[in-house]
Amino acid sequence: MRLATLLVPGRGETVAAVSPDGARYLPLDGTGSLAERLAAPLPRVDADWETAPRISDVRFLPIIPRPGSLWCVGLNYEDHRLETGRAKADYPTLFTRFPASLIGHGEALARPSVSHQLDYEAELAVVIGRTARHVAEESALDYVAGYACFNDASVRDYQGHSSQFGPGKNFWRTGGFGPFLVTPDEVPDPQDLPIGTRLNGEVVQASHTSQMTYPVRELIAYLSRIHPLHPGDVIATGTPSGVGVARDPQLFMKPGDVVEVEIGSVGLLRNGVVDEAQADQ
C-alpha cells in the first residue's frame, strides 16, 4: 500500500492512498494527519483507480509534514565514512531535523543565500507506526509503518562550523521527503534495496542498503532506549558514498538542477533546485 500527504485544491492537506503505479490518488475518509492515522489500523482501500483523480494535478507535501521527532543518522555507510575521512565510531552518529527543513516530492530545494555548498544525500527513511520503547532488535521492524525516499540535502560549510551537524542539516527547504510511504508488505527487507542519486540524469550515488553499518532494526532498538518513538516519527538512515563535497572537483547543487533519489521498491523522489529568494514561502 502506498500513502501520501497531498495539497489538494479546495481540500488543503489531504491524506491519500495512491495507486500501485503512482498515477492516481484517493483521499482517505476521516480526519487527522498521516502521523495521527498511523496510530490506528489503516483502512482497506478497494479503489477503482481508473476513475480516481490524477496525482499530477496536485502537489506533494512531505509524507509526514510535522514529525514529532525526525532522527538522522550520519556516516551509516562505511564507504561514505571513508570518503569523509571521519574516524570509526562505536555508536550511531545522530542529529535531528526540524519540520521547516522538509519539502515534498516535486517541490524545489532552496539553495541558501548564505552558502552555495548545497549537497545531495540519498537516504532510506523509516516511518514508525507503533509506539516503540526499549524494543529488541529482533522485533524492531514490527514497529515500522513504512519506508520512503529522503534527500538529506546538506549545507556543507555550515555542517562543518562546529562538531555538531545540526546547522548544516536544517536549512529551510533542504530535506526532500517522498513521494509515498510504502508499507512493509512491499518492502519485505529494508536491507535489500538498491539506493542511489542522479543529478541532472547522471548517476552520482549508487549503493545498496545492505551496506549500512547500523541496519534499520538496530537503529530502532537504539533510538527507542533514548525516548519513545511514536507513530509518524521518522528515521533517516544515512547516505552512501558519492556525495558532492567528497568529489574532486567538488560538486554542489545549483538553481536549475534536478536531483532524483531512487530506492528499489520504495520509489523515486525528484526535486528541482532554486535560489532561496525564489523558493515558495
Q: Output the CA torsion sign for 91, 117, 193, 184.
A: positive
> How many Å apart are CA 207 and CA 196, to the nearest integer?
6
In the complex, minimum distance from the CB of residue 121 to Mg ion, in angstroms, rounded to a whole number: 4
* DSSP code at position 166: G
> How many Å apart are CA 178 and CA 15, to the nearest integer?
13
Binding mask 183-212 for Mg ion (x = CB under 5 A): ------------------------------
Nearest to Mg ion by Cβ — which residue?
Answer: 152
In the complex, minimum distance from the CB of residue 32 to Mg ion, in angstroms, rounded to a whole number: 29
Position 257 contacts Mg ion (CB under 5 A): no
CB nearer to Mg ion: pick between 100 and 136: 100
Residues 109-148 contacting Mg ion, CB under 5 A:
121
With beta carbons less than 8 A apart as the criterion, state whether 117 and 190 touch: no
DSSP string, 35-80: HHHHTSPPPP----GGGSPBGGGSEEPPSSSS-S-EEEEES-BHHH
Question: Cα 186 to the chain's mean position, in Å?
Answer: 17
CB nearer to Mg ion: pick between 121 and 233: 121
CB nearer to Mg ion: pick between 169 and 270: 169
Q: Is residue 96 classed exposed, middle or buried when 0-12, 13-18 and 19+ CB atoms within 10 A define those classes?
A: middle
In the complex, minimum distance from the CB of residue 239 to Mg ion, in angstroms, rounded to a whole number: 5
Residue 127 exposure: Cα atoms within 13 Å on the Cβ side: 33
Position 260 contacts Mg ion (CB under 5 A): no
In the complex, minimum distance from the CB of residue 74 to Mg ion, in angstroms, rounded to a whole number: 6
Q: Using DSSP, state whether 216 is helix, strand or coil.
A: helix
Q: Which residues contact 176 (CB under 8 A, 6 or more apart)?
A: 102, 103, 104, 105, 107, 109, 149, 150, 151, 153, 259, 261, 269, 271
In the complex, minimum distance from the CB of residue 204 to Mg ion, in angstroms, rounded to a whole number: 15
Q: Find the part of the chain contacting Mg ion (CB under 5 A) among 58-66, 186-194, 233-241, 262-270.
A: 233-241
Q: Find the part of the chain contacting Mg ion (CB under 5 A) among 26-34, 56-64, 215-223, 234-242.
A: 234-242
CB nearer to Mg ion: pick between 17 and 118: 118
Before 249, cis peptide (omega within 30)? yes
C-alpha cell at 1: 500500500
In the complex, minimum distance from the CB of residue 112 to Mg ion, in angstroms, rounded to a whole number: 17
Q: Output the CA torsion sign for 41, 47, 49, 54.
A: negative
Q: Find the part of the chain contacting Mg ion (CB under 5 A) among 82-90, 199-207, 236-244, 246-254.
A: 236-244
In the complex, minimum distance from the CB of residue 36 to Mg ion, in angstroms, rounded to a whole number: 27
Residues 145-174 contacting Mg ion, CB under 5 A:
152
How many residues bind Mg ion (CB under 5 A)? The answer is 3
CB nearer to Mg ion: pick between 121 and 260: 121
In the complex, minimum distance from the CB of residue 222 to Mg ion, in angstroms, rounded to a whole number: 17
**What residues line the site for Mg ion (CB under 5 A)?**
121, 152, 239
